[in-house]
Amino acid sequence: MTKNARVHVLLPDAESDRFEAYCKVKGYKKSTLIARLIREHLDRERFAVQQELFRGPQA
């Protein structure tokens, strides 16, 4: 089972209203769209985590 991290995003009221209206008109769920936008941005930037840098101590 895949674990998902929770991310909190703070937006000014005007941007929040605009984003909510956009999601409603387009039929998107806010959390799904935010996850997709983050993924697409990271892909566009060709950013990948170097896993070996984040491993814990070897047992």
Burial of 33 (0-12, 13-18, 19+ CB in 10 A): middle
Listed by start position, the domains of the chain span 13-44
Which band of pLDDT confidence, cut at 50, 70 and 90, is reported for residue 54? low
Q: How would residue 2 be classed by pLDDT, with cut points 50, 70 and 90?
A: confident
CB contact set of 34 (below 8 Å; sequence gap of 6+):
7, 9
Whole-prediction pTM: 0.73
Please state the separation of Cα 3 from the chain's center in Å. 14
